[in-house]
Structure 1
Amino acid sequence: MSMRLEGKTALVTGATSNIGRAIAEAFAAQGAHVAVSGRSAERGEEVVAGIRARGGRADFVRADLDGSAAASRTLAEEATHVLGGRIDVLVNNAGIYPADSTTATDEKTFDRVYGVNVKAPFFLTAAVAPAMVEAGGGSIINLGSWIARLGIPVGALYSSTKGAVETLTRAWAAEFGPQGVRVNAISPGVVLTPAPDEEHPAEVMMKGTPANRMGSPEDIANAAVYLAADESAFVHGIVLDVDGGRTTAAVIAA
């Protein structure tokens, strides 16, 4: 049986841990040549080594996506080079999450979070999408969040950035879709890998959902494979909720 991403190339930002790492590993397992991007060379090389040990193709590209257009353009250029001249799939995953209240958030933090979570993927998409168009098509996958649409009393700054990313997803689908580049987003629920025999404080946020559990990075990676693969060729501009039903359904205990 052929692999779903055989022959494709992919750049995954924030790919040295958690969801980004799982996506990079899943893409490689499905046959893609993956550019693993992140700030830590040590963690990046560890991810690459693991992928290669399982027979996959991956290279590390260090990047500190601070929101500057120059940083995003440099990553696009370096990833294109290591991937042999093209990027078929871009996953805008890198992000930071300060859980401060609105009144505790200073201007420096505000600018930094918007720089990493919004400006960086904006300018990276601007750098990558034209080459995808020229090559005949591609897929861009953004990472949103369930708290962009269901308010919680902390993290207003972060949730607003993810609302921006989801809006950009729809706008980019309209802008680039007619030229062959599909743009979609994934909205994860609470996704953490809890320590064995320990209940993580965030688990309470998934109580009363159909899944009744936190998600795993692999849950999100499976959705990313679908959006990157040709089987989703007719899918444009969606925000795919992979959140255990957090934003759509409430389970009433009997």
Structure 2
Amino acid sequence: MVNNAAIFPGAPTVDQDQDPGTLDETLAANVRAPYLLTAALVPAMIAKGSGSIVNVSTMAARIGLPGLSVYSATKAALESLTRTWAAEFSPAGVRVNTVAPGPTRTDMVLASMGEENAVQFAKSTLLGRLADPREIAEVILFLASDRASYLTGATLAADAGRTAV
């Protein structure tokens, strides 16, 4: 199972307090939805004695980025759930991991940042470019596969080295 759906509000914290619905909507999509989906589907995995859950976070959960307080907080919560769920479900054979992408050429990123700003931000990574969505999908596929059979409770940074330095 891959928990990938999210919304990506961006605004300074003092501007977001004008619309508390943004916080509620982001918590609902980025934390509540994966929580409820996992709670609904993991019993079958546990009964089977195997399974893999991959949560999709962001490098913004690990570094401070202006204007992303709500988004980064919800993704940090998801990373915390990864560790808790690994502790709860892995003894029954269900692995739980997270991938934390960096700037990626997706419709959501380009719509929220604009292509020029996204490309400029990507230059702050060690590789200096936006990720292709397929590159992130390959990391998710790895975590979900048996090739990652000894990984659980981990967050893999797929962020072109941005959080490494």
Is the pair's TM-score, using the shorter chain for normalization, greater than 0.5? yes
Counterpart position of 2:116: 200
Counterpart position of 2:62: 149
Q: Secondary structure at the match of 2:164?
A: coil
Instruction: State the identity as a percent.
Output: 44
- Deviation string 1:175-218 (CA, Å, 9 cap, x unpaired) is 100010000000000001599xx953112222242211011110
> Which structure's relative contact order is higher, taking Cα pairs within 8 Å and 6+ residues apart?
2
The list of structure 1 runs, each at least 4 consecutive aligned residues, that deviate by more than 2 angstroms after superposition, is: none
- State the structure with more CA Rg: 1
Counterpart position of 2:148: 232
Counterpart position of 2:134: 218
Q: Distance in 1 between matches of 2:21 and 2:151?
A: 38
Give the TM-score normalised by structure 2: 0.91
Which has more helix, going by share of residues?
2
CA-atom RMSD, angstroms?
1.6
Q: Secondary structure at the match of 1:200?
A: helix
The correspondence of residues 1-254 of structure 1 with structure 2, limited to 5 A, is 90-105=1-16, 106-193=19-106, 200-249=116-165
- Stretches of structure 1 that go unaligned for 5 or more consecutive residues are 1-89, 250-254
Q: Distance in 2 between matches of 1:234 and 1:110?
A: 36
Q: Distance in 1 between matches of 2:84 and 2:106?
A: 33
Give the TM-score normalised by structure 1: 0.60
Amino acid at match of 1:215: A
Q: Distance in 1 between matches of 2:123 and 2:52?
A: 34
Q: What count of residue pairs does the alignment treat as equivalent?
A: 158
